[in-house]
Each structure stands twice: as C-alpha cells, then as structure tokens.
Structure 1
C-alpha cells in the first residue's frame, strides 16, 4: 500500500483546478498565434483540395471510379475552404480604449482553435489516401462489379444457378440465353461470369461483345485479353488458329458471347468445343432471337422473361429511394412501375429520371410511358442542357463500344467543343458529358477504360430523335444488297451515317451542299467510291470512312473539301494520299489500322493539325524527315504498333528522327516505339505529356492488359541515364515494364532520383535483371511511401534477388497490392515479412514458380522492414482467392 502525503494531495488538487483555467487564459494571450496557425492550415487544405480536384478530373477522364472516401473528403473540404476571419491590425479596445477587448480575443481564439481541429482532421484524411483516388479498370474483373440493375431476384438467380449447373455437364457444349431487348440478358450473364470465377468452375472466363455487326478480329482480341494473351497481327483465319491453340491448352474455359444477332461459326472465331476438340471448353451465348440458338446447335437454352411485379417494384424503389413511401406519390409510383412492364432497362431509365424530379411531375411521366423507347425519350427530353442532348444524338453514330476519341472526331461539328482550345480539354469535357449520360442510364460502361456502350434500344431512340428534323439520315446494319435512296431526298442533310450496310454501289456524286458529317462504315470489300462522289459537299467538316479496300487512289473530289476538320480513313487499303495537303483546316487525321506504307511529305503542310493517329498501321515503314517537326500545333501523336525506324538525327537520313518531337511544343499525348535506346537524344520527352504509351527497346509488344493511360516499357542494354526525359516518364507512369536492367542493384534507389517514391505507379513488371538484389532497400528514409497505389507486381528471372523489401518504413509500401507473380528468382527465400504481410489487405492472387530456394511465402522474423518490433504475428489475407506455388 502506498501512502500519499497530504501536501501532495493538495498540490494535485491545485493543479487539477489550475490546468483548465490556464488553458482558457491561453485563448486570450495567444489569440493571434492560434489564428495564424489556423490560417496556415487553411492554406494547406486549399492547396490539397486543388491537387485532389486535379487528380480526380484526371482519373475521371480515364474512366475510373472515384473512391467514396475521396468524394466525401472533397465535399467537406469544399465547405470548409472559405476565407477565414481576418484579424484586424487594430486590436479592439474596451473601457474607452484603455483596455484590450478580452472577449473579442477569447472568441476569436476559440473559433480558430475549433477550426484548426477540423482542418487537422481533413488534412490527416488527405494524408491517408494520398495519391489513391480511384479504382482502375481491370479487364479480368469488369463483370465482377455488380450492375445497379442487378438485384438477386429469385427469377434471375434460379436461371444463373441452372446455367452454372449446365456448365458442369460434360455432355453440354453450347448453352444459350434468350429474351427481348432490355430484359437484362447482359446483366444476367455477367452474373454468371462472376459466379463462375468465384466458384472456380473454370480456369478462365472470357467475355466478348458480338453486336449486330460482328467484327471477328475484335471478338478474338477480347477473348484473348480475358485469358491474358496477345494475338499477333494477321488475318482472321490465322488468328483463329492461334486462339484455338491457346484455348486448347487450358483445361476448363468458359467463353461468353454476348448480344449475338445472327448465327456465328465458332470455328471461324477460334473457339474449340465438343468432344473431338476440347471437352472442357464451354460456350455461353446470349441473343434476342431463340432461332439463333437453334442454328448454332445449342445443347440447352434458357429464356429470360420480364421481372415479376414485386421484383420490378423492388428495383424501382432501389433506384428512386425512400421517396416512394410517401403516401402522396406511392400510388403514382406504383402506376409508373407497372407501365415499365417489368423491363429492367425501362425501370432503370425511368427511375433515374424520376429520382431527380419533384412528385408533381410523376403523374405526367406515368402518362407518357408506353414502351422502353418512351422511357428513353422521356429521359432525353429532360436532360439538363442542349450540350447533353447533342452528345446523346451524336452517340447514335458510334459503334457499340465507342471511345472518347470517337466522340472527339465529331465533337466540334456537333457544337460540343465551343470555347475549347486543346484536345486535352476536349477529352475532359467529353468525358464529363459521357459520365452524366451514364448516370442517367442512357449510356453504360464499355469493356475498356476509355470506352462506353449504348444499348440497342437506346441507340434506336437516339437515331430516331436525331433524324426527326430531316437533316440527319441513318442506314444501319441493313442486310442484303442495298442502294442509297433517291439522292434528292438527301440534299438538305447535315449528317449522313451509313453504318455497315450491304451496299453494292454508291452514286457517282452525292449532292449535299449543307452536309457537315459523312460516315461510311463498309462491309463489302468490292465497294468503290467514284472520283466525283464528294464534289458537291463543300461544307463537309467530318469525313469518317472505315473498311474500304479500294482506296489505293483517293477520289479526286476529296481535294475540294477545303472546310474539312476531321479526316478518318481507318481499316482501309491506302497508297496515294498526297492530296490531303489541300485540306488546310484539318485538325484530326487518322489512318488507324490501315494498310499504308509511306506517309507523304505533304502531310507536313497541315499546319493546323492537332491529332495524327497512325496506330496499328503495321505496314508503315517510311515517315520522311522534317514532316512531323512542321506540325507545330500537334497535340496528339499515336504511332503504336506502327512505324519504328527512327533516325538518330545526327545525319541526314530517309526517316524521321526522334529529335523532331522536341519541335512539337503542344504535345500532350504520345504513343510510339523506340527500338534502339542508344538513338535517343538527350532531351526528347516533354513535361507536358499527360497520356503516353511508350516502348523503348526491341523486346516489347503493344499488349496492354491494364489499359493504363500512362504506360512505359523500357529495355536497357546499358547502364541507365535519365537525361532524356525518361525519369519524368518513370515518375508519371501507371504501368511500368522493365527488361535487362544493367547496373541496377536496388530498384527504388536507382530509379527514384527524387526520393519521393512512385506515387502514380499501379503495375510494375521487372524481368531479366541479374544484378538486382532488392526492389526496396532503404534504411534512412523512414517516411517514404514507396508504392502507395501499386496493385500488381511481376518479377521474372531476377536470379540474384534477395529481398523484395529490405527497409525501415513508417508506411506500408504495398498496401494496395492485389497481385504478385514471382518466377525464376533463385536466391529469394520469402516474399514478405509478417509486418509487411499484415498490410496486404487487398491481396487477391499470389503466384510463385521456379524459385528453388524459396522457404516460405511469409517469414516471421528478422527482416528489417515495417514494424519488426510489433509482437502480433497474425496475418489475415481476407481477399486472397488464388495461390499458385
């Protein structure tokens, strides 16, 4: 027992009384200090908010989903970031100016103290998420994210379970799903894909959109990407053989073909099926027409019907919210829901519209609902402004999985880019418009980050609305030999869209003096365009032609199009294209996926050009010198899977040199391949680059599993030097691949000259680095956050790698890691220590192969990394779903 002297008790009591008094008095005597501290934190929060808003806009432009914590923080910060109360230079007095105003000082300090605590909280939250603002696109798990239209109704879950059971039956090869437009077939099969992955029924699940105009090459590409393969270029037949071989090596594969309109021959795509080819390969097909399933010899099919009345009401209330429980609107809401006739598409579109409207408008909406089309039109009529309505109409011209670049082609002609001066600003505006239309359920997510899709029902409505004024003409997916209607009926058109029709001929000349946009997507390889076809289209601003195999000589009338701003000749056979020099107003020029061998010198005369797209022009072998350097206003240059014969610029040659890029001061987007690192000039890449896909070295191909907006693949045959802008690319990269690293012992130390980590890096792939011993090896820099957003780590053939992380760090370096793949790292004994492993809360997949000295995946003791003094040795990897050793 301890006896406390009375004197100590008294002193403790005095202290207990005096402490709060002292604290309150401090508000009076240090009021200016507290206010200054508050103002300093206010400035820090204001700067942080600007940085976050910029990062969020960048992420949204890339089609990424902003994390909810970030959204909540923005709202709080925006409310708090108001000008603080300014302290007067003259201290207010009381008692006729003889005494300071103690109440004024106390109130001011008290308020500053409260504000400072709120500001501290917001700044701490900002530090917590740092550079992690969004969820990136992952082609492997697109269908894992549940659609807002999916609720686990009995009518749907029972079909899902029946399909999954059928997929286990070795006697069934092709399984079908059919139902009316808008009934939810795509949502349902996405659910099947998700469940099949979760239950590990298949080694791989691959999903491809077929659409009304199937593109075999695109279907093959989508399937290959889902199983993490890249198909080499070549004809459809050669690619089919390659895909069949790839699929044949897997034991169990589920291939899902969504939205088939007509019978598709699986062997032409490269899908092996059946006992004689691949018993473990199952095919799931969705279509509106059950006859298609019969023609494809489906072994079993499942109809998808409209939702039952109680299910429809549950979905409706989920979207609209508790407002429907108000007695004043409930009967009207029930009537609106019944009029949707159990169609999920109609319910989604209608409910998303109504949840933004007062109850007084619900009765009117109920009377207008007669079909899915009327629901779409109702939503369109109440879009916020004409800009959104123009975007919606423009989307009727787009392919099924359209991109922001597709919108960019037409944006100016449709009045969407008024006041926009740069293509980067245009990308941002178009992305915002697309996001708003998605929130109204008039558009949906596409397969890739930059893609979006429009349901066929919605597209039909969009085309109908666009053509009502008589100045827009559409022909889309017409089967059988076709010709254009009488030319006189097209005379007053401003837009003509001819989308994959079976034309046998076109008129010799189309007289449309007011025409601004002409779109021709062709599927007849024999179709020709006459020399005079464009001679009466003087006002044409956008010409978008795809799939023409007879354009070796461009029609001479193209030279008359003096007002043309966008010219796209894509997937075409091209030879003589010099006449484009006469189109002095061109801002966008695209030869994407075309057969073209030489870019003419005349291109250099297009001094207004902002975008030049030569992606996937695999035959392009000549770009003459001093052509690119003349395009002084160029903002986007795309040369992926295309020309790569860059000169070093030291002497006159036949080809363009990399040094010409230094003469493009406005360049913000760049795709190109540099086979020889030694040819790179000292200064080549600008700090202005916002989006890039750059390959350096002769190892790489253009496969891009992650669809990042900033990708760098770097092969170094010599010791690294970063004087040509490569360091800047490293710091900005989201997807980084490194090969043959020489002289690199510690990756982070040798590549991070600024000692700030890699704040934007999401995917890191290192291979063939015999001298590398560590990925992270730091002792002194304890506060460094090395990889705050890294999600995938791939290490292959690092034969002397001893540790992945050998550092004393305060912050977890791999907190966002979802996937790690390690192979042929012979000296590696473990992946992570317990302290690191405790931070791997997002880890989903671990693969380790050919690591002959590997003792354990997670090691308990001894490592010099995060928190080794902590006693807890429990590691729970709750997200882990795949472990391959």
Structure 2
C-alpha cells in the first residue's frame, strides 16, 4: 500500500506543477510586466551613472557594459508580456506561462548581477609618457629639446592659457609637440594629468575636432551639431586634474569656447597650438606666448643626418659630398630624414648625382612647401626601388590630408588597376602591397597610423602629399584628384572633366551627383558618404559613369541606385567593386560585369543574397559579403 501511495504521489506532483502554469497564467503575466518595469527603472539609474562617469572621463567597466547589453536585449526582445491567446487555447497559454516564469527568473538574475557592482567605471590610466613616439634621431637635437623646455616653462605660468608654435612645413613642429607632451606629463613636477591630441589640418571642421576630443575622453557627443560645444565644455569642466589640449596644424581662426567647447576658464585647462603662420596664432587665436621653430644649424643638421646614415666614410671626399647633401636640405628635419634614408647604403655615384639634383632643382611654387623640401622629397621619390613602389606612393595622394588609409584598400585598388607586376592571386597581391608599403614607410614617405582594430593603416604627411600630387600631375602616370573635403555641396562644373587616373570624392555635403562627367583616363573612383546620420543615401544618376570607359575600380559608400547600374557600357572594364551601406533595387544584373575579379559587399541591407548570375563572373577571384566568405578567398 505504501508503495502504491508513493507511485501516485510521484505521478501527481509533476502533473500538478505543469497544471500550475495554466492556473497561474495571469499571475505570471503580471509578474513579468512588473519585473520588466523594475528592470527599466534600474537600467535608467545605471545609464545615468554611466553618463556621469563618462563625464569625468572614467572608463566604463566591461561588467557594466555587458549588463546593459543584456538588459537591452531582454527588453528589446520581450514578446511575452503583451501576448494574450484565447482562454480556449490551453496549449499556447501553457507555453506562454512557462516561458514567462523563465523570463522572470532571468530578469531576477540580471537584478542580482546589478547589485554585484558598486562602481560603474574607473579612472582611465594616464597616458604612457615613457612610450610617447618621438624619433630617436630627433632627441639628439639640443636646440629642439631646449625649445621644448621653454614651451614647458611658458605653460607653467598661471596667467598663460594659450601657447603657440609656428614654423615652415617640414621644420618639425609635430615632433616638437611630442617632446613637450613628454616633458609636461612625466615626473613629480609634471604640469598636466592628461594631454589630448587633436589634428586640425586644412579641412577638418569643428565637428571633427570635437569628435577627436570626445574619443580621447571616452564620451559620446550629441549627434546633432547644436549643443555639442556646451556638452563638451561641461564634461571638460567636470574633469579632475589639469588638462592640456594640443591643436596641431591650424590654418584658420577658431573660437575655442563657443565653437569647439574648450573651457579655458577652468583652472588647469590650457591649449598648445601649432601653425605655419605666426599671424594666425598671435592675431587670430590671441596666444599669450608664441615660439618659432627654426631650421637646424649646419652642425645640428649633420648630426641629425649621421644619426640616420650611421655610416663611416672612408675618404674625406665622400664625407664632404655627404655634408654638402645635408647642407642642401636647408636644415629641415623632414628633408634630412627622407634624403638620408634614400641614400643610406648607396654608392658614391648616387650621392654625387643627388647633390647635383639638389643644387640644380627648380622651385615648384607649391603653397606652404619650401624649395628645399620639394627637392629633397622629389629625390627620395626618384630613389624608390621600382615602378610599383612609385605608383603606389602617388596613388596614396588621392586621399585627403591626415586620412587613415587602410592597407587592404590599397591592395584592392592596386590589384584592380594592374599596378602590380606578375601578381595573379589575392594572397600574392596582399604580400606584394605589404612589401611596398613597408618600403615607403622605411623611406619616410608614408607613416604608420594608429588603429583600434586588427586592420593596418598608413597616412601621408601633408607636405609629402602636396609634393606627391605635384609629381603625379607632372609625370601624368598617376594624376590624382580629391574633392569634397572643403565642404562644397556639389561637384563643381570646372572639376567634371580631366585626365585623372584616380579620384576620391567625399560626398558628405553633396546634394546630388552630376548627370554626366568626362574622365577618359579614370581607373579608380571612390565615392564616399561617411556620415552615418544621413537618412537617405546619395543617388547615382544612370548616366553618371558615361565618359569613364577605362574605370577598373569602383568603391562606393552610402550610395543609392534605383535603376540597374551594371548594364552601363562604361563599367565593362570593371575589375574591383566595393559597396558599403549602399542601396540597389537590382543586383541580378551584376553578372554583366564579366571582368570582375574582386567583389566586396558590406552592410547593404537590400542585398540579402548574392544572385544566381554570380556564376557568370568567371574571372572572380574573391568575394566578401558582411563578414562571410561567399566565393574564393575572404578579404581580410
């Protein structure tokens, strides 16, 4: 009898538990709604504390960031609290009640996790002042280190809020800033707790300057332009410690407080600015102290030069030739650096030829670039090994000043434009481009650019870019053109034709694209809307590519085409096609691009599949769509 009772009890108990889901249907529904409300209230409290922490430039802990993501996911995907099937649909009500109980338990777990962290963030570590990148050959220059100390002394004066540094292009202003930063941030007598680096340049507008500051403070700025300055100002005011903001390469006047949001009235907040023009710093920006960065003396130039060459000359004649070469660089570190690296390890015929060219060089009247710098950079270009390296160098001039150039993009462009000799596979082109880029970096004609991702980037010194553009225009083998970074709202008539081989158009401010243009030599076209906040993508007119019959590489970002684009005869020679955040009503006709070798499609919402006509692309070597390898080799 006891056994029978135990069996019956064991059978009834789980049945009763399952029936409980039906009996407690309304209670479970109400409990889920109540817990979701509690969760949203708790989330608002945590978000407020996160914003306060960011305002103090604190780093938000990974635990808090993950908790917020989990909460957002729980709230966003809530489909249980409002569903209410008929009382006769017992199976559905049973399922919902059971899921609601599980969801309530999950929410209670999230609430318990919330109680486990006391603080949402922590003070970000100070910059690593011991590892600030300052070239070793720069540190041997006593005049520059002495000037850096003078600038530090000026910044130490309580009444001085704005300090300026000016000098010609290539004289070493940016390197000097790094030395000053190292002096004011290290040691017990450091003047500042934090330094914020901002690259201004010719075309960066106020929004981009604010973004650079916001990124380094780890704060998210308002999406609209209105109120950004006051938001940034309020966050800087709340920050603890002394702050130095470095504005490098000013070309015009800015209202630091009203336009950008830099509160110089805050105790311990100061600005150090550089420009090629003393007038901009003293008259427009009203700096209280201003320092000139002068050219190096002959003695210092030679010392700088030899620190790079590192060679012992076995005859007085050879040494004198080298001294005269260094002298022709005009005491400019940029010129000395590139020439020394171009001639290092070369025989005396190269040195003698270099000296002759430097002495006989003719000024090219490039705004802001001295004749000495031009002659030095031109000579470094001529000493590059092979036509491939030279063409890749000139191609980089299509990008704007200080643009971070993805090396994988250079690979796609170089492969599509046939700049690489005897390269047939994607992997071979990757290796070749990396080798060429490293050669250009070693020659100081390209600079490594910092990156938060695994991707590698390079950039050009703005002076080097100016010279590269001039060389490209004169030689005619890689004429480049860049439009849109001066904030124009249309592609002006005077720039709708030419013999350019590569064009980069920043279309952020364009209202529309021209109906037709004439670029018979064009092989690379980059059309880019980089502003993610734009509601509608910029539309490409159907006849837009007429007059571009040699086009081989097309890179589109934020573009829209409502008519079949790929059937236009002007794209018959296309070998590389890249599309990011683009809208196309018809992708099926892509099979018309018979010569296509490289295809990249990323975040194009309307393109949810690759069409069957892909099989017609018999030359395709690699295709990449939204993080997945679709054909051949993944582009990475």
Q: TM-score, normalised by structure 2?
A: 0.65
Q: What SS is found at the alignment partner of 1:352? A: helix
**Residue equivalent to 1:292:** 280
**Residue equivalent to 1:257:** 247
Q: 1:201 to 1:602 in 2, by over 3 A?
A: same
Rounded to whole Å, the distance in 2 between the matches of 1:567 and 1:233 is 33
Q: 1:624 to 1:554 in 2, by over 3 A?
A: closer
Q: Does 1:542 align with 2:545?
A: no
Q: What SS is found at the alignment partner of 2:204? A: coil
Selected match of 1:266 from 246, 249, 256: 256
**Residue equivalent to 1:626:** 609
* Consecutive unaligned residues in structure 1, runs of 5 or more: 1-137, 474-494, 641-660, 670-690, 692-885
Selected match of 2:404 from 402, 405, 419: 402
Q: Does 1:393 align with 2:379?
A: no
Displacement after TM superposition at 1:178 (Å): 0.5
Contact 1:605 1:630 in 2 (8 A): yes
Selected match of 1:464 from 432, 455, 470: 470
Displacement after TM superposition at 1:172 (Å): 2.1
Contact 2:564 2:586 in 1 (8 A): no
Higher relative contact order (CA 8 A, sep 6+): 2
Q: Does 1:519 align with 2:519?
A: no
**Residue equivalent to 1:59:** none
Rounded to whole Å, the distance in 2 between the matches of 1:428 and 1:390 is 17
Q: 1:242 to 1:428 in 2, by over 3 A?
A: farther
Q: What SS is found at the alignment partner of 2:504? A: strand
- Match runs of 1:773-852 below 5 Å: none
Q: Does 1:220 align with 2:210?
A: yes
Contact 2:388 2:420 in 1 (8 A): no
Contact 1:179 1:289 in 2 (8 A): yes
**Residue equivalent to 1:813:** none
Selected match of 1:431 from 424, 431, 434: 434
- Match runs of 1:701-712 below 5 Å: none
Contact 1:612 1:634 in 2 (8 A): no
Q: Does 1:605 align with 2:590?
A: yes
Rounded to whole Å, the distance in 2 between the matches of 1:339 and 1:170 is 42
Contact 1:423 1:635 in 2 (8 A): yes
CA shift digits 1:236-288 (9 cap, x unpaired): 4455455444433322222212122222333466442221xx23222211111
**Residue equivalent to 1:350:** 339
Contact 2:542 2:565 in 1 (8 A): no
**Residue equivalent to 2:513:** 529
- Match runs of 1:379-778 below 5 Å: 379-399=380-400, 400-403=402-405, 404-408=407-411, 410-412=413-415, 414-448=417-451, 450-470=456-476, 496-498=481-483, 500-501=485-486, 506-507=492-493, 510=496, 516-521=501-506, 525=509, 528-531=512-515, 533-534=516-517, 536-537=518-519, 540-546=522-528, 552-558=538-544, 560=546, 564-570=551-557, 574-582=559-567, 583=571, 586=574, 588-590=576-578, 592=580, 598=583, 600-602=585-587, 605=590, 608=596, 610-612=598-600, 614=602, 622-627=605-610, 635=622, 637=624, 661=628, 664-666=630-632, 668-669=634-635, 691=636
Displacement after TM superposition at 1:164 (Å): 1.9
CA shift digits 1:661-680 (9 cap, x unpaired): 47x143534xxxxxxxxxxx
Contact 1:143 1:191 in 2 (8 A): no
Aligned residues: 474
Contact 1:216 1:236 in 2 (8 A): no
Rounded to whole Å, the distance in 2 between the matches of 1:401 and 1:139 is 24
Q: 1:194 to 1:289 in 2, by over 3 A?
A: same
Q: TM-score, normalised by structure 1?
A: 0.48
Q: 1:237 to 1:256 in 2, by over 3 A?
A: farther
Rounded to whole Å, the distance in 1 between the matches of 2:222 and 2:431 is 32
Q: What SS is found at the alignment partner of 1:166? A: helix
- Match runs of 1:284-363 below 5 Å: 284-293=272-281, 294-324=283-313, 326-363=315-352
CA shift digits 1:25-81 (9 cap, x unpaired): xxxxxxxxxxxxxxxxxxxxxxxxxxxxxxxxxxxxxxxxxxxxxxxxxxxxxxxxx
RMSD in angstroms over aligned alpha carbons?
A: 3.7
Rounded to whole Å, the distance in 2 between the matches of 1:425 and 1:589 is 19
Q: What SS is found at the alignment partner of 2:197? A: strand
CA shift digits 1:402-439 (9 cap, x unpaired): 31245245324653234444555434322221211111
Displacement after TM superposition at 1:447 (Å): 3.4
Q: What SS is found at the alignment partner of 2:312? A: helix
Displacement after TM superposition at 1:169 (Å): 2.9
Q: 1:452 to 1:149 in 2, by over 3 A?
A: farther
Q: Does 1:281 align with 2:269?
A: yes
Q: 1:567 to 1:254 in 2, by over 3 A?
A: same
**Residue equivalent to 2:179:** 191
Q: 1:217 to 1:325 in 2, by over 3 A?
A: farther
Contact 1:242 1:270 in 2 (8 A): no
Rounded to whole Å, the distance in 1 between the matches of 2:386 and 2:277 is 37
Contact 1:312 1:342 in 2 (8 A): yes
Contact 1:505 1:527 in 2 (8 A): no
